[in-house]
Amino acid sequence: MKLLHSGVGVASDAPYLPARADEVAWGVLPNADSRPVLRVPSGGAVRFDTISHEGLLVDQGSDPRAFFGAAGIGPDHILDDALALLDSGRRHRPDIAGPHVVTGPVAVSGARPGDVLEVEVLELTRRAPYGVISNRHGRGALPGEMPIPPRGLPPGAPVPPVCLVAHTEGGIGVLPVGDGRRIRFPLRPFLGIMGVAPATDGPVHSVPPGRHGGNLDIRHLGVGARLFLPVQVPDALFYVGDPHFAQGDGEVALTAFEAPLRALLRLTVHADDAICRTARALSAPWGSTDELHVIAGLDPDLGAALRAATRNAVAFLRERYALPAQVALAYLSAAGDFAISQVVDQVVGVHCCLRRVDLLGLAPTTTLGDGLPQVVFPDHGPSDG
């Protein structure tokens, strides 16, 4: 495939936000004082370019030409905006910030604290035919075991990261084993970071997710999905980053198949009581797909994150379907699927998947323009998600 350099092959059907070196954030998220780089009306779509941080980081040499060159990828096969970011003199500061390169923020006119921003994922296009899967010492699900220290490493010396370059073949990911064999797996692109600015003027580290969204790393949020984010500052100040070509639940190594995407997203502000009441009842954002409601729980402790996801799922079923708590919990135990989103982002994520078809008969329904059945409360208007 051809590289999608900045500005190349961009359709004219929506405003386009490239990942310019002087506009992206590196390792921090927008906050209440951030200035938007683009403004759109509610219901408008934006096409974003995203940069993967892998290959740019200090422990990878801060030189993507050398890093990818060692894997046989020449400088003419590296995205121009990734090179421009390094050539601008900016460097990652792992002592004070996360690794992620963040595009935005975008102001959504009319959004106010207490509203809900719906992010609909319309398109995700791969910008390059390769990416990176990394494991770093002290991180991931096996922080004291992996990576395995190389022989002859002096006591107390830092263990080098293991960063494997994977490739794509059509809709398939290919991971070389190192002895001529290859592991093949399906691609399922999504954006690990989608969020709104938190209501603070302090720096916001890009790694831990929260009620603002951010680094949720929920693999279900691909094309066709919708993410619902409680607005915390005027105009929402929406941003994206951490693009993935694929990820397994848990993301146990530390990163998944990290690689750059171009994303077309529709941003819609909701101020109706039903959806805002749901947002107030939950401690984390939630999402939906054609088949599922996806309810998140977040906490530094895995058990607490599971409990948070359970409480949020009970609250969601109460607010959206008027289920008593004891009935909701029984249904979750019989049919709700709880999975670990990720265990690597300081704040652990657990998500609960609820089949939408199970719940269709519990309230009157209508059909929106996308053909998806939506729940309608008898005493409120149509609700989304």
Model confidence at 384, in pLDDT bands (50, 70, 90)?
Answer: very low
Q: Does 171 share its domain with 302? A: no
Query: Which of 202, 230, 264 finishes a domain?
Result: 264
Burial zone of 69 (CB within 10 Å; 0-12 exposed, 13-18 middle, 19+ buried):
middle
Distance CA 217, CA 248 (A): 10
175 falls within a domain = yes
Instruction: Please report, for residues 55, 166, 229, 287, 382, the alpha-carbon distance to residue 232 in angstroms, rounded to integers and kept in the order given.
Output: 33, 38, 9, 18, 23
Instruction: List pLDDT tens digits, range 138-179.
Output: 899 999 899 999 989 998 888 999 999 999 999 999 999 999
Distance CA 244, CA 166 (A): 12
Instruction: List pLDDT tens digits, range 271-302.
Output: 999 999 999 999 999 999 999 999 999 999 99
φ, ψ of residue 241 in degrees (nearest 5):
175, -170
Q: Does 328 share its domain with 242? A: no
Q: Does 223 share its domain with 311? A: no
Q: Which domain holds residue 222?
A: 16-113+122-149+162-264
Query: Which of 264, 296, 314 finishes a domain?
Result: 264
Quote the pLDDT of residue 385: 53
Q: Does 144 share its domain with 239? A: yes
Mean pLDDT of the chain: 93
Quote the pLDDT of residue 200: 97
4 falls within a domain = no
Q: Does 142 share its domain with 194? A: yes
Q: What is the dihedral of CA 142, 248, 158, 145, to 10 degrees?
A: 20
Q: Does 213 share its domain with 181? A: yes
Q: Does 244 share its domain with 309? A: no
Query: Which of 247, 264, 281 finishes a domain?
Result: 264
102 falls within a domain = yes
CB 190 within 8 A of CB 247: yes
Global confidence as pTM: 0.92
CB 279 within 8 A of CB 227: no
Find the CATH number of the domain harbouring 360: 3.10.28.20
Distance CA 344, CA 185 (A): 22
Instruction: List pLDDT tens digits, range 323-376.
Output: 999 999 999 999 999 999 999 999 999 999 999 999 998 863 433 334 444 444
Q: Does 260 share its domain with 356? A: no
Q: Does 339 share its domain with 193? A: no
Q: Does 235 share its domain with 188? A: yes
